[in-house]
Amino acid sequence: MRSYKIGVIKGDGIGPEIVDEAIKVLDAVASVEQINFDYEEFLLGGAAIDETGVPLPEETIQGVKKVDAVLFGAIGGPKWDTLERHLRPESGLLGLRKAMGTFANLRPATVYDELINASTLKPEVVKGVDIMVVRELTGGIYFGQPREYGEEKAYNTMVYTRPEVERIAKVAFEIAMKRDKRVCSVDKANVLEVSQFWRDIVEEVHRDYPEVELSHMYVDNAAMQLIRDPKQFDVILTGNIFGDILSDAASMLSGSIGLLPSASTGEGVGLFEPIHGSAPDIAGQGIANPIATIASASMMLRYALGEESAADRIDTAIKKALAEGYRTQDIAAFDAKEVVSTSEMGSIIADYAAK
Ligand code: NAD
Ligand code: IPM
Ligand code: MN
């Protein structure tokens, strides 16, 4: 029996609802794969503020260093939006990513054949889309100093250092080597010095990967091209803020932001999280799509724990649930045989995963 310690951060809004379903599915595969999971919960975001007064308690920072991987839901909500910035849930998440050194956020945007009609785009445009967005996660304008919010002016600083760009570029090229060997680096080098620097260093790192085809694209064009012809992309390499925006856009190729998982990896323990937020507008209604979080648990098994067979089970179970016509509301507009709740979807996927 293989045994793993899993840190669990449920967070706010739909966070607890979707993480509970991912755990249900993990437990289902554990029983058939001879794996034992020990879960330890940590506080982050609004839930942490309510309990301890700060969005990122010291126990969370220390605790996540001692587990094999962390599964995370989402944080944030209107209740905490008026707090001072450093006390807001989002600052807690950014602090956690920094503390864990998870500089590489891998956001796969794939289209399930079963959901080909769920996208707002035409089936022929999205069928077969398989993009990996490699988003730099612990630098750029999110973290740059100085920053200020004043009476007369406010500013942030977009900064990247050589080692920061080198390491994320390497991640993108390594991933591309295992895929279609194409990297498109997205920046705003026609306007920003920091983007020209990014582009120069990506070119340098590329010299070690001659088999990979490298292209560069401005972010405004990239947003348009993602919608016009998404199949032109294999790996998209980009900075923190551009990756945030482009991955939300890419989610609509698949049909819903509730489908896209991610893996935040880097220096140590990895953080596995859906790309979406805490969806306060639908929290507590039992209608959130848990698939992004369940697929994040699958990425955790594959990338952090090396449990390929268990991960395959989950991915197959998700496809089976969709093939059988089970849909949460966000993807119910087309082809639904049955519209199900968050927990029903979790149970259906768990049942298939255990077979
Ligand atoms: P959001 O991603 O939470 O929601 C955007 C829209 O997508 C909403 O209409 C929501 O109902 C829908 N949606 C999101 N996830 C869904 C799911 N699993 N199933 C069905 N529908 C889903 O973004 P927002 O509304 O801009 O932000 C809400 C809060 O979440 C804010 O406080 C924001 O800062 C926070 N946020 C947190 C994270 C994170 O924790 N990683 C990510 C993004 C936003
Ligand atoms: C995400 C979110 C976060 C980000 C926020 C909540 C800090 O939008 O995980 O995509 O911008 O990285
Ligand atoms: Mn985001």
ipTM over 0.95: yes
- Give pLDDT, residue 336: 77
- Give pLDDT, residue 296: 98
Question: Per-residue pLDDT averaged across 220-228, rounded?
Answer: 98
Does residue 93 line the site of ligand 1, with CB under 6 A?
A: yes
Residue 220 is a catalytic residue? yes
> In this model, does residue 65 exceed pLDDT 80?
yes
**Phi and psi at residue 333, to the nearest 5°:** -60, -30
> In this model, does residue 92 exceed pLDDT 80?
yes
Which residue out of 10, 160, 188, 209 is catalytically annotated? 188
Q: Residues with beta carbon inside 6 Å of ligand 2? A: 76, 90, 93-94, 244, 275, 277
Residue count of the chain? 355
Evaluate the CA torsion angle 339, 9, 20, 310 in order and state its sign: positive
Cβ atoms of 75 and 46 closer than 8 Å: yes
> In this model, does residue 334 exceed pLDDT 80?
no
**Banded pLDDT at 109 (limits 50, 70, 90):** very high
List, for residues 181-207, the tens digit of each pLDDT value.
999 999 999 999 999 999 999 999 999
d(CA 311, CA 286): 25
Residue 244 is a catalytic residue? yes
- Give pLDDT, residue 89: 98
- 149 forms bridges with which residues in the sheet? 154
Which of these, 319, 261, 331, lies nearest to 118 by C-alpha position? 331
d(CA 155, CA 334): 44
Dihedral angle, C-alpha 281, 283, 288, 291, nearest 10 °: 120
List, for residues 230-264, the tens digit of each pLDDT value.
999 999 999 999 999 999 999 999 999 999 999 99
What's the whole-number average pLDDT of the chain?
Answer: 97
- Give pLDDT, residue 337: 86
Q: Which residues, by Cβ under 5 Å, contact ligand 3, an ion?
A: 244
> In this model, does residue 51 exceed pLDDT 90?
yes
Q: How far is CA 87 from CA 76, 130, 138, in A?
A: 11, 37, 18
- 7 forms bridges with which residues in the sheet? 40, 70
List, for residues 267-285, the tens digit of each pLDDT value.
899 999 999 999 999 999 9
Which of these, 8, 22, 118, lies nearest to 318 by C-alpha position? 22
**Banded pLDDT at 335 (limits 50, 70, 90):** confident
% of the chain residues with pLDDT over 70: 100
Is 6 in a helix, a strand, or coil?
A: strand
- Residue closest by Cα to atom 44 of ligand 1: 277
* Centre of ligand 1 from the C-alpha of residue 277, in Å: 3
What is the set of domains in the chain, with CATH numbers? 1-102+258-355 (3.40.718.10), 119-254 (3.40.718.10)
Cβ atoms of 98 and 138 closer than 8 Å: yes
**Banded pLDDT at 333 (limits 50, 70, 90):** confident
